[in-house]
Structure formats: C-alpha cells, structure tokens
Structure 1
Amino acid sequence: MQVTRVTYIVIGLAIFFAVSSSCNNNGGKARRSVYKGLYSFGPEVRTFEDCDNGHEFWVTDSSSQLELQYSRMNFEKPYEPVYIEVEGTKEPSGKDGLGSEYDSTLVVKKVIKITKEIPADACH
C-alpha cells in the first residue's frame, strides 16, 4: 500500500511540473497580445495609452509599419493621437534612453488597425 501512495505522489508531481513548464515556457519570449489605444508620435516621443486601463507605454515599432502608416496620415503637427490596434509584447523599459521614464515598452509586432477617428466608446 505504501508503494502505491508514493507512486501516485510521484506521478502527480510529474504531471504538475509538466503542465507548469508548458504553461510558462514560451521559449523565453514575451507572449503576444492585442493592444487597443491611443498612439502619439513625434520627435523623441512614441507613446501608447492603453484603452483598457489607461496605462501609458513607450513604443518600439519592430513591425516597421506603425511609424510609416502614422507618417502617411500627413498631420500638420506632431504628437496628434490616433487610435490603433496592434499585436505586440509588453516588456520592461530600459534604464537609459528616450523610453526610460516609462515602466514598460510596447513592442509592436503587427499593425491591425490605425485611424484618425478615435471611437467614442474605445477609450475612457
């Protein structure tokens, strides 16, 4: 009887660690999510305000599309906010550089939507 109980404990622990490992192991990469909010761009400013929680992020555009599409909107002045939906990862900001005053950096991997029209119900 004692062997059976130990066997069950060992099997249970093996399953727990296997499931825990598969849930947390994404190859050392941050998990991609869809972010919806307001993006502002200009000299030395690339910020995103998350519509869900109002948190503000520094933005890095690894897609090479966000800044390009923003510049094609031909704003007369910089820093005009636009509504975006992007796929990306949230990472800690570096200690130096332009984005260092932000806790987190949104690394944009894919632009889903960008528009001058900010939906009334999209952000608080």
Structure 2
Amino acid sequence: MLLLFSSPTFADDKIYEGHYTYGDEVSIFKACGKDKVYWLAVSGFVFSDVKVLALASDEPYMPVYLKFRGHEHFEEVDGYQAKYDFQIHVSEVKKFSKKIPVFCK
C-alpha cells in the first residue's frame, strides 16, 4: 500500500474505502458494505499509481481496494458518467492494494 500526493482539501471531504474498478471508459467506486456505485473523478498525478495497479490484473476490470479522501461532486455529465447518481472527486489517496481486505468484501 502506498500514500500518494494529494490535491486541495475541500470542506466537505470525507474518507471513503471500498472497491475501485478502472478500465476502458470505466472509473467506478463501490464503498465497503454499500450497494451504490459511483463514478470516481480523479486527477492524473493523484491517481496514476492506482490506475496502474488496477490495469495490472490478469483479468480486465478486476476491482482493487482503495481508501481515499474526497467529496461528492454534483456536475451535469454525459456519456458513461451519466449512468451514476453522482461523482466522487478524489482529493487524496490514503491506501490502495490489489488485495481487498476481508472486512470490505
């Protein structure tokens, strides 16, 4: 697990942890123990190592564990992002791992 760089902090930031899936036209997050799936909006330098890990799987679209600080972002979107209730903007990656912890399955 790694600690990465962060972007500016927002007043409504909170900690999220769960399953992140990345791939061609996919950037989705499902919190541990929750049913909703959200589009994850990320900036390159904050998130590049997480994307590399997510793409390194033997199978495409395999989720990785992700713990991050971020906030809900209500912006009018189209395309693949429009399928989700809203976006979560990532401010800081706290931890990520190919192995999803038992408590988060």
Q: Which category describes the TM-score, using the shorter chain as reference length? A: 0.7 to 0.9
Higher RCO (CA < 8 A, seq sep 6+): 2
Question: Hey, what's the Cα distance between the residues in 2 that align with 1:47 and 1:85?
Answer: 13
Q: Which residue of 2 aligns with 1:60?
A: 41
Unpaired runs of at least 5, structure 1: 1-28
* Deviation string, structure 1 residues 55-108 (Cα, Å, up to 9, x no partner): 210011136332433314622333110010000111225241320110110111
Unpaired runs of at least 5, structure 2: 1-9
Q: What is the percentage of aligned positions where both structures have the same residue?
A: 28
Runs of 4+ in 1 over 3 A off after TM superposition: none
Q: Which residue of 1 aligns with 2:28?
A: 47
Structure number with the higher helix fraction is 1
Aligned ranges 1:101-116 → 2 under 5 Å: 101-116=83-98
TM-score (norm 2): 0.77
| Aligned residues between the structures | 95
Distance 1:53 1:30, change over 3 A: farther
Question: Hey, what's the Cα distance between the residues in 2 that align with 1:93 and 1:58?
Answer: 11
Distance 1:67 1:94, change over 3 A: farther
- Rg: which structure is higher? 1
